[in-house]
Amino acid sequence: MNNLNLDSTQYTPAISFNPDTGKFEISGISLPENVLDFYTPILNWLDEYEKSLIAQPINPTPSLQFSFRLCYYNSGSVRFLISMLQVIKRICDHAKVRVEWFYEKDDIHLYDNGKELEELTGLTFNFIELE
């Protein structure tokens, strides 16, 4: 499966999904003008990745790291983050998954948002405080 790489813009986060290395990262600001247009191809890619894990199981079970390094996102983006996390939860059935949620030391709001997403999705997040 091909990598998914999108450069960040003033309003959209960078996306770096590499199934060969098992590293999947979303970083930056998420304020897309049209969240559906921005996130639908990303969700479709994740769905295809999940299907590829089911179709061709890897032995030993792959270890995957999903890193969320968002410094700001709007309410429209939250719905798609939840959808993305739901796919990641399904991927947990086929891989060892680590979810990392990065937040600035003084940004309690971003930390709390991560806690809410963790609770909503039932995933376990590793919270990483940045100085």
| CB distance 22 to 79 below 8 Å | no
Confidence of residue 27 (pLDDT cuts 50, 70, 90): very high
pLDDT score, position 38: 97
Instruction: State what percent of residues in the chain have pLDDT above 70.
Output: 100
Domains and CATH numbers, the chain: 4-130 (3.30.750)
Confidence of residue 1 (pLDDT cuts 50, 70, 90): confident
pLDDT score, position 60: 78
- pLDDT tens-digit map of 49-66: 999 999 987 777 889 999
**pLDDT of 8 higher than 90:** yes
